[in-house]
Structure 1
């Protein structure tokens, strides 16, 4: 994609394929939950806890993918295709290495991790088999995330959407066959879901590799790796990725600790949370998609030194994301009982879940602040501030208040949701204040490259 083409990208053109892609990813998880709910509620809880751990692992892959997205967007905006392509090559290699190491760790230490989470004993066997199968192939997810980031940063957001659609189709078919033993296959329950998830991701990886070759490979060069170690590229990726990973890791580990608190409340509370999270994921889906699309646009604008347009782009995206997320959350509350009835006939779960959906109407606007503004700050090169504030708020507010309100004061899941609201709104307002301060204006990673290009153009003229 040329620089001229890149500047013509609109938020809608970038966001709608990302929206559908993320929705399909969520549907993939929801398909597992919905189909397992027809098997038994304990299976749902076991997979939910294992997926909480997998979300922490995915953060470790995400830090390279995040750095890839930001750097490629900035370099493309600055017209520096050479460095954009070097970043793509190095990011693929880095995430394959991280993926293999973390896959081995989950295979070896999976049981010890689940025991440390205070998992109810009746869930252990099912949670462990799921974690070992899906976690053992975690390196596949690392490769998918990296290639997807490269392709989307070049503007081909629809390609990633099509791959995710295909993965969903294979996953649902695999679930049906392996959970319930259709067409003469063995009835494997949770094991079947794990196998189906791993296989569908493997197919998605092969598809992504083909798209990489088709869309970007012609401009990628691997030969520079033979002459020298890519220190600058690795340094730049880690400079963005590690702080970004720190923020995501702080969030996900805080959620693991909160899950530990909820596990002590009993299986009903744990199951209710899993069902509720699967529902409200669609409420913040819009903010996630808008945040990712805005990150790419802001990255291009920063690379072109169009700071005023970048500033306005973030604020416009924020109000769109907040409005849509709040509306969707409200609709989920209105139809909450009907939606929960799809998953379970347990009245205790349905009633508690409906109260959580009411609180989610307040939660989602605060979450939109973080999903959109933090991505914009990151795209501009301001990667440390969100981490510092995130760690303080997630642990000082979300974790502390979840324990105090949920366990000490006996509010249970209601107390946990109140803590989440306080955390998201505090962080969100601080992020907006940071964006309005414009301290990010001189933090771009490619300013020096742009200066070199400008100098070269002056000499040529």
Structure 2
């Protein structure tokens, strides 16, 4: 059984495996995009626009995972290891049921969703195929996200990294074979990419369940699982998770709307956004690794009643994430030409990409602060107000402004990045005020 004091680790031991795992994931995304671009640029665009929809679905399939991290780390902090294991099983069951329902919805809805975001006609068929394969993937993604959240709540970030390496290796090998074909394996293109994702997530879900049973000694709890007795824990998980999940879900729809503003303008707009999001994934994963580690630390200390240590954790994590991600953004800008050149030689895309990377340098400090504060507030159980505030900013301010800049003023993708800068700055200010108010009350 895992040690109850596992989340007692400091920021670096908790975050570096998550960071390494995320960086490897970013490298895999680069190779993935290179494989698809080598097959055809239309294939890369089809998978990109389909993933915009699937990201929303995947966020919803992890409905109970966020609550699992908070509850497990708190229960371990309070010395209640058996309760933590029961919470883990409840999270797995709840996530699996929610994901199954979502997959059943997405399967017939795929072409309608692709049409709703103005998917270009030349890639519509491939995007629909990828979405339908993705519908089968969602169940396994839900199980995988819940299991990973449980391990993270126990401070087992190194194990997450090792399992991630195995999954990434399998994915790239299977994707290459299924996209291009080899020997008796036919060339499947976009369908092959979707099947590779399904294969790996299914294998990862099964492996993670085996790890949880053996590592956390959960065999008896699985065998004795009763849905009725687990409903109270599921409700607790839901109360902690739903605001963040709705936030992610709404953010995914928000991004779909932004994509629709530029999708009808040109494929170059779509590809410049896709390539930059692929490159700046290093910033996102670095920030999320630090934020997720900080969330476990805050939750553990809150459960242990050591509230006086929490503010120091948050300040250190904010400083580290701001300095690190802003520096990385500057490096990406300096290396823009060779990095974007890995995907395309079109000068228009290269020009747009460099503009987006320059703006990203100024986005990062605000993004780092608001991400750390959002996850820290969630670890303390403060989820509704932060979500309401950020949602109001997105829908009342960002969407209308994005339409004006991207469509009316014809700034396209660059206009969307200016909106992102303003949005992240306002979120950081709002969450900082919320954090100070919370500290003052306590």
Give me the TM-score of the superposition, normalised by structure 2: 0.96
Give the corresponding residue for 1:271. 271
Distance in 2 (alpha carbons) for counterparts of 1:274 and 1:310: 37
Distance in 1 (alpha carbons) for counterparts of 2:136 and 2:6: 40
Superposition pairs of residues 49-198 of structure 1, within 5 angstroms: 49-198=49-198
Secondary structure at the counterpart of residue 405 of structure 1: helix
Task: Report how far residue 217 of structure 1 moved.
Answer: 2.9
Task: Report how far residue 186 of structure 1 moved.
Answer: 1.3
Task: Report how far residue 42 of structure 1 moved.
Answer: 1.2
Give the corresponding residue for 1:419. 419
Superposition pairs of residues 159-308 of structure 1, within 5 angstroms: 159-218=159-218, 221-222=221-222, 225-226=225-226, 228-308=228-308
Distance in 1 (alpha carbons) for counterparts of 2:219 and 2:305: 25
**Residues 211, 351 of structure 1: CA spacing in aligned structure 2 closer, same or farther, 3 A cutoff?**
same
1:331 corresponds to 2:331: yes
Alpha-carbon contact 1:298-1:379 (below 8 Å) kept: yes
Secondary structure at the counterpart of residue 381 of structure 1: coil
Distance in 1 (alpha carbons) for counterparts of 2:423 and 2:181: 44
Distance in 2 (alpha carbons) for counterparts of 1:227 and 1:256: 36
Distance in 1 (alpha carbons) for counterparts of 2:159 and 2:172: 21
Alpha-carbon contact 1:86-1:220 (below 8 Å) kept: no
> Deviation digits for residues 386-427 of structure 1, max 9, x if unmatched?
111111112223222211111111111111100011111111
Alpha-carbon contact 2:7-2:73 (below 8 Å) kept: no
Distance in 2 (alpha carbons) for counterparts of 1:220 and 1:396: 50
1:399 corresponds to 2:399: yes
Give the corresponding residue for 1:345. 345
Task: Report how far residue 437 of structure 1 moved.
Answer: 1.9
Distance in 2 (alpha carbons) for counterparts of 1:228 and 1:94: 12
Distance in 2 (alpha carbons) for counterparts of 1:219 and 1:185: 39
**Residues 369, 105 of structure 1: CA spacing in aligned structure 2 closer, same or farther, 3 A cutoff?**
same
Alpha-carbon contact 2:336-2:357 (below 8 Å) kept: yes
Secondary structure at the counterpart of residue 367 of structure 1: helix
Superposition pairs of residues 314-393 of structure 1, within 5 angstroms: 314-393=314-393
> Deviation digits for residues 157-182 of structure 1, max 9, x if unmatched?
11111121111111111122122223
Task: Report how far residue 65 of structure 1 moved.
Answer: 0.3
Alpha-carbon contact 1:314-1:376 (below 8 Å) kept: yes
Distance in 2 (alpha carbons) for counterparts of 1:231 and 1:37: 46
Distance in 2 (alpha carbons) for counterparts of 1:3 and 1:163: 22
| Corresponding pairs, count | 441
Task: Report how far residue 439 of structure 1 moved.
Answer: 5.3
Distance in 2 (alpha carbons) for counterparts of 1:318 and 1:24: 23
Give the corresponding residue for 1:446. none
> Deviation digits for residues 81-106 of structure 1, max 9, x if unmatched?
23222211111111111111111111
Alpha-carbon contact 1:19-1:289 (below 8 Å) kept: yes
Unpaired runs of 5+ in structure 2? none
**Residues 129, 77 of structure 1: CA spacing in aligned structure 2 closer, same or farther, 3 A cutoff?**
same
Alpha-carbon contact 2:7-2:296 (below 8 Å) kept: no
> Deviation digits for residues 126-158 of structure 1, max 9, x if unmatched?
101111112222111111111111112112111
Give me the TM-score of the superposition, normalised by structure 1: 0.92
Alpha-carbon contact 2:78-2:304 (below 8 Å) kept: yes
**Residues 193, 6 of structure 1: CA spacing in aligned structure 2 closer, same or farther, 3 A cutoff?**
closer
**Residues 212, 358 of structure 1: CA spacing in aligned structure 2 closer, same or farther, 3 A cutoff?**
same
Larger mean CA deviation between 409-418 and 396-405 belongs to: 396-405
Distance in 2 (alpha carbons) for counterparts of 1:285 and 1:210: 26
Larger mean CA deviation between 49-58 and 291-300 belongs to: 49-58
Distance in 2 (alpha carbons) for counterparts of 1:13 and 1:293: 9
Larger mean CA deviation between 265-274 and 179-188 belongs to: 179-188
> Deviation digits for residues 207-236 of structure 1, max 9, x if unmatched?
212211221134862466449433321221
1:12 corresponds to 2:12: yes
Q: CA RMSD in A?
A: 1.7
Unpaired runs of 5+ in structure 1? 443-461
Distance in 2 (alpha carbons) for counterparts of 1:411 and 1:195: 37
**Residues 10, 219 of structure 1: CA spacing in aligned structure 2 closer, same or farther, 3 A cutoff?**
farther
Give the corresponding residue for 1:429. 429
